[in-house]
Structure 1
Amino acid sequence: MTKEATLYRMVMPGHVCPYGLKAKYLLGKKGYKIDDRWLTTRAETDAFKAKHDVKTTPQTFIGGERIGGYDDLRRHFGLKVRDPGATSYRPVIALFVMTALMALATSYSAFGDPFTLRAAEWFISFSMVVLALLKLQDVDTFATMFLNYDLLAKRWVPYGYVYPFAEGLAGILMTAHALPWLSIPVALFIGIIGAVSVFKAVYIDKRELKCACVGGSSKVPLGFISLTENLAMIAMAVWMLRGLI
């Protein structure tokens, strides 16, 4: 028996609804024959919403029953629906996986071997640079979130605005092994303050906060990964200092 669905979605000269495309793809993936009905003007879209008493499009109907929008369609098929407010470690996991692969690739290109001490150094320095980049996308939002837990930023607000630049500078210099007299103190300073701040907020005060480590809109929980980021920065600085002695 052929499974059929009717899909109403916006397809206008200046806008094609992305969720409409996703709903169409999902229905096709589930083996449905789709009656794809386009809403080609704003007036037509508004009239459709008023008729069916809905606030959004696309809207899917199966067997004459309205299923709803894209998220409702996913629920109908028993699929997971993303909660925009939910905490997740995915951003930092993705970041560290990619910077690790970058470090291995760079080591292989430079030395013909991905598994070198320089690869480990590059992993940390690349991570510092990418983390700084994410913060620099919106420094003000980062600084605001940072004020929730960083001990120095609470005493001197401009530190929240300085931090991403300091982290990025230290990461770039450490990548190049340049100006260690500057990169090592900067990394030690921000790493130690960061580690103490996170440890106090999470393990002493038992506060449940979002980490500003990947930017001010982060849904990453403040905790072990945030502490590890700072400890890795300290370890990198100590390792480079050891090489100078």
Structure 2
Amino acid sequence: MPSPKKVAVLYRMQTPAHICPFGLRSRGLLRRKGFEVDDRLLTSREQTDAFKAEHGVKTTPQTFIGDERIGGHEDLRKYFGMPVRDKTRKTYTPVIAIFASAALMALAISWAMFGSLLTVRAAEWFIAISMCLLAVQKLRDIDAFTNTFLGYDLLARRHVRYAYIYPFAELLAGILMIAGALMWFAAPLALFIGAIGTVSVYKAVYIEKRDLKCACVGGDSNVPLGFVSLLENVMMVAMATWMLLK
């Protein structure tokens, strides 16, 4: 005998002004798990509020399997034994994504310019592009960045305006290094901010042993202050020193 169909009832909000992304995620997950989805749309705020009141829930979507209310999207993932993202958990994912993207971009430019992947310029571009991408993350919300940065940077503590200047200086140095232009200015600039950053991070993490978030990818990240933060600054120092010697 064929196995009975697995049916799930999904209530999700979809109005002309808003389509709930978690409702779409729940529908997609149910279908991947082999369920036939009875997709019931809540097409107005009044209809959504009435549904919440009727079932005593605070959010939509809501999934029902048989007579059991499973709950929202995260509850559905738990039901299937899938991991749920912990928004407070420390992670290096943003930094890995930035460095990996910078490396691939540097290799692509090297191939386009020289027909070879492994060149000295590719290594230089990798560091310079990384600086630019990290600066952009800081500039997305400069106030959030400065709030975190002021927690450990030694110069910013003395002169708050330096915290606001820092991401612009990092971006400018990175752009000039990509272009290979004005190195008499770009290299000392990168050396200056990189050296201060190296000392600041080393003092906060390895001497004072403080548990802080890193501002390297913006103030709203959960990247811990530590080796990766130190690496960002050491890379700038190394790049600047190389350019000055070169």
Q: What is the CA–CA distance in structure 1 between the aligned matches of 2:13 and 2:115, rounded to whole Å?
A: 52
Matched residue, 1:203: 206
Matched, 1:128 2:126: no
Unpaired runs of 5+ in structure 2? none
TM-score norm. by structure 2 comes to: 0.97
Matches of 1:235 and 1:14, distance apart in 2: 51
Amino acid at match of 1:202: V
Q: Tell me the distance in 2 between the aligned counterparts of 1:95 and 1:41.
A: 40
Paired with 1:124 and 1:236, the residues of 2 have a C-alpha distance of 7
Amino acid at match of 2:238: A
Mean Cα deviation higher: 1-10 or 94-103: 1-10
What do the CA deviations read for 1:163-184 (whole angstroms, capped 9, x no partner)? 0011011111111111111111
Q: Which residue of 1 aligns with 2:18?
A: 15
Amino acid at match of 2:136: L
Aligned residue pairs, count: 243
Question: Could you tell me which residue of structure 2 aligns to residue 242 of structure 1?
Answer: 245
Q: 2:52 aligned with 1:53, yes or no?
A: no
- Counterpart of 2:122 (choices 99, 114, 119) is 119
Q: Give the CA deviation at 1:132.
A: 0.8
Shift of 1:140: 1.6
Deviations 1:63-118 (A, max 9, x none): 11000000000000011111112111000000000000000000000000011000
SS at match of 1:34: strand
Query: 1:14: how far off?
Result: 1.4
Q: Give me the whole-angstrom Cα distance separating, in 2, the residues matched to 1:182 and 1:45.
A: 59
Tell me which residue corresponds to 2:103. 100
Moved over 3 A (4+): none
Find the aligned partners of 2:204 and 2:48 in 1 and give their Cα distance: 49
Q: Which runs of 5+ in 1 are unaligned?
A: none
Which residue identity does 2:32 align to in structure 1?
K
TM-score, L = length of structure 1? 0.98
Q: Which residue of structure 1 aligns with residue 30 of structure 2?
A: 27
1:78 pairs with 2:78? no
CA distance in 2, matches of 1:171, 1:15: 40
The 1-side partners of 2:19 and 2:148 are apart by 35
Question: Take 2:14 and 2:146, find their aligned partners in 1: how far apart are those partners?
Answer: 40
1:15 aligned counterpart, secondary structure: coil
Aligned residue in 1 for 2:194: 191
> RMSD of the alignment, in Å?
0.7
Alpha-carbon distance in structure 2 between the residues aligned to 1:185 and 1:38: 60
